[in-house]
């Protein structure tokens, strides 16, 4: 099953690369690639003032999405780990309490009274 999953990921990656190459070829004006200007990136030193290519914008967007998803998953894993530790602690405490209750001696002071006195009247 893991092998099938890895093969599927590789196929998706190959198709993604082919899609990005064709996208880059289609988005040209006078044999120059179309550029996208992204706010807040234009003012950074070293960035091209004309913007970035379309395929670069797509890869940048996908990379940011993967990074944000990774951070969210990391926080969820940490919170679930702490919840598991809390539940294990509670389970350990309840097991200890249950063992203590099992090991308590049963009091011999219990008096059993017989309520069935029907036969004495005859």
The 10s digit of each residue's pLDDT in 50-86 is 778 888 888 888 899 999 999 999 999 999 999 999 9
Within a domain: 68: yes
Within a domain: 34: yes
- The answer to whether 53 touches 32, Cβ cutoff 8 Å, is no
Within a domain: 45: yes
Within a domain: 103: no
The whole-number average pLDDT for the span 26-39 is 80
Domain residues for 35?
Answer: 2-98
In the predicted structure, residue 38 carries a pLDDT above the cut 60: yes
For residue 92, the surrounding DSSP H or E stretch is helix 54-103
More confident residue, 96 or 54: 96
pLDDT range class, residue 30, cuts 50, 70, 90: confident
Within a domain: 75: yes
In residues, how long is the chain? 122
Within a domain: 65: yes
Within a domain: 79: yes
In the predicted structure, residue 101 carries a pLDDT above the cut 90: no
Domain count, the chain: 1
pLDDT of residue 27: 78
Within a domain: 23: yes
Whole-angstrom distance, CA of residue 70 vs CA of residue 64: 10
In the predicted structure, residue 48 carries a pLDDT above the cut 60: yes
> Tokens 């998803």, residue?
69
**Percentage of residues in the chain having pLDDT higher than 70:** 80
């Amino acid at each position: 099953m893991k092998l099938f999953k890895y093969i599927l990921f590789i196929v998706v990656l190959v198709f993604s690369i082919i899609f990005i190459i064709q996208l880059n070829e289609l988005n040209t004006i006078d044999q120059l690639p179309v550029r996208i200007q992204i706010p807040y990136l234009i003012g950074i030193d070293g960035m091209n003032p004309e913007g970035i290519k379309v395929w670069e914008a797509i890869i940048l967007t996908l990379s940011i999405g993967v990074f944000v998803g990774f951070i969210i998953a990391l926080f969820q894993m940490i919170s679930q780990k702490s919840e598991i530790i809390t539940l294990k602690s509670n389970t350990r405490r309840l097991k200890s309490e249950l063992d203590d209750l099992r090991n308590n001696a049963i009091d011999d002071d219990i008096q059993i009274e017989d309520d069935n006195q029907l036969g004495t009247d005859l």
